[in-house]
Amino acid sequence: MGKLRLRQIPDQLKVIELIIQKRGPESGPLTQGSAYARARAEARRARATSPPPRDSRAHRRSLLPRSPAPRPRPSLEGLPEARTDAAMSELVPEPRPKPAVPMKPVSINSNLLGYIGIDTIIEQMRKKTMKTGFDFNIMVVGQSGLGKSTLVNTLFKSQVSRKASSWNREEKIPKTVEIKAIGHVIEEGGVKMKLTVIDTPGFGDQINNENCWEPIEKYINEQYEKFLKEEVNIARKKRIPDTRVHCCLYFISPTGHSLRPLDLEFMKHLSKVVNIIPVIAKADTMTLEEKSEFKQRVRKELEVNGIEFYPQKEFDEDLEDKTENDKIRESMPFAVVGSDKEYQVNGKRVLGRKTPWGIIEVENLNHCEFALLRDFVIRTHLQDLKEVTHNIHYETYRAKRLNDNGGLPPGEGLLGTVLPPVPATPCPTAE
């Protein structure tokens, strides 16, 4: 019935490293997309001209201050060039820092005299990643009863989220939004993933839901803060545990009309802080026409209100990225149906929902778009989600914190002063 294909992630990682090394910093924006086939082609080309590989730990060593632009898109932190003179030019506050000395490696004739073995780097890095494993933190937000836990369980094919319907019947809807993070380790093909599902019961369930997104925003910023503190430590851990929220699935109720005001408010406040992927929950109540009309209306409303969901248009760096992501953006938000029960259809056991008028198959693209969502989040963009979180959202937070603290990392300051509190992201409210 299909695998999660976590195995592809180490490959995605290695390939991106290769591309960076091949292209160098002055070629401007880097490829951040992770289309596997394209990356592979690049890697083949890169093999001919790549300089010797660097230690992946170079990721963490860069201590140069970033430019204070609101959305800096600096070169990937793992740049070996950080140690060279070229990188000193980054101190000049420019939106796109260009090194003074061009670093483009000299193009070697692709006819090598013999086999060196540089391409084994992929295998080495893959082995390393498989040993260490990696983290992925996914948050689910939406009114109670929209099938959040079921969908997460279906996505990862395991009981990673305890369904609220299996709770004790006396448990009532919490009065304020609670944040519950549950971690699981799932393994596939030798690749270990530490998956953390962050649930937000109580969101949107009260009569007065004013500011019910604040606990969520606070939690996300707290994770950034935790990571920042670890980063500026003098004695740092070899591998900083990453609890930052990489992806936030927002569940839209399938009313068929439009977004609810609460949906708008939430996404307005949080789309600049975390990657939001809106999904239309329980989509089995809409016919095909209703689905496409609703999706169009939702997309238009998001556009009109300036809300960018993942994959954000502003981070498409090249044409290939853009075309691929455009296609995805056109079909978002995905209309999904989740299920943890299996039924017999045409001799196969499929996950689905059985009603008197038919069986809805979760993985059938004619019925719902669950397969698209799964492929998108897990099989193609898992690594990209993490990278955008690390390079964009986390960097924005970090820059703000450093600015607030006068350019110094948090924890250092005038003796005895109190640190500024973890800030909430300001958000322009619609008039």
Partner 1 sequence: MQQDKEYVGFAALPNQLHRKSVKKGFDFTLMVAGESGLGKSTLINSLFLTNLYEDRQLPEASARLTRTLTIERRGVEIEEGGIKVKLTVVDTPGFGDSVDCSDCWLPVVRFIEEQFEQYLRDESGLNRKNIQDSRVHCCLYFISPFGRGLRPLDVAFLRAVHEKVNIIPVIGKADALMPKETQALKQKIRDQLKEEEINIYQFPDCDSDEDEDFKRQDAEMKESIPFAVIGSCEVVRDGGTRPVRGRRYSWGTVEVENPHHCDFLNLRRMLVQTHLQDLKEVTHDLLYEGYRASCLQSLARPGARDRTSRSKLSRQSATEIPLPMLPLAETEKLIREKDEELRRMQEMLEKMQAQMQQSQTQGEQSDTL
- Binding footprint of partner 1 on the chain (CB under 8 A): 143-147, 164-165, 173, 205-210, 253-265, 281-282, 284-285, 287-288, 297, 301, 304-305, 353-361, 366-367, 430
Q: Which amino acid is at 57?
A: R
Output 146 or 274, the one with its CB closest to partner 1.
Answer: 146
Output 33 or 352, the one with its CB closest to partner 1.
Answer: 352
CB of 143 to partner 1, least distance (A): 7
Output 47 or 162, the one with its CB closest to partner 1.
Answer: 162
Output 6 or 151, the one with its CB closest to partner 1.
Answer: 151
Output 124 or 255, the one with its CB closest to partner 1.
Answer: 255
Output 253 or 325, the one with its CB closest to partner 1.
Answer: 253
In contact, 244 and 216? CB cutoff 8 Å: no
CB of 301 to partner 1, least distance (A): 6
Q: How many CB atoms lie within 10 A of CB 178?
A: 12
**Which residues, including other chains, have CB under 8 Å from residue 269's CB and lie 6 or more apart?**
213, 217, 425, 427
In contact, 419 and 413? CB cutoff 8 Å: yes
CB of 141 to partner 1, least distance (A): 15
Alpha carbon separation from 317 to 17, 32, 197, 202, 392 (Å, rounded): 16, 7, 30, 38, 13
Q: Which amino acid is at 379?
A: R
- Bridge partners for 277 per DSSP: 249
CB of 390 to partner 1, least distance (A): 32
In contact, 193 and 187? CB cutoff 8 Å: yes
Distance CA 129, CA 62 (A): 22
CB of 181 to partner 1, least distance (A): 22
Taking phi first (over 0 means left), then psi (-120 to 50 degrees means alpha), and beta for anything else, what does residue 193 get? Answer: beta
Task: With CA atoms as reference, report the closest residue to 167 among 185, 149, 153, 155.
Answer: 149
Strands 191-199 and 134-141: parallel
Distance CA 250, CA 281 (A): 9
In contact, 265 and 213? CB cutoff 8 Å: yes
CB of 430 to partner 1, least distance (A): 6
In contact, 320 and 38? CB cutoff 8 Å: yes
CB of 359 to partner 1, least distance (A): 6
Output 60 or 162, the one with its CB closest to partner 1.
Answer: 162
Output 353 or 401, the one with its CB closest to partner 1.
Answer: 353
CB of 33 to partner 1, least distance (A): 31
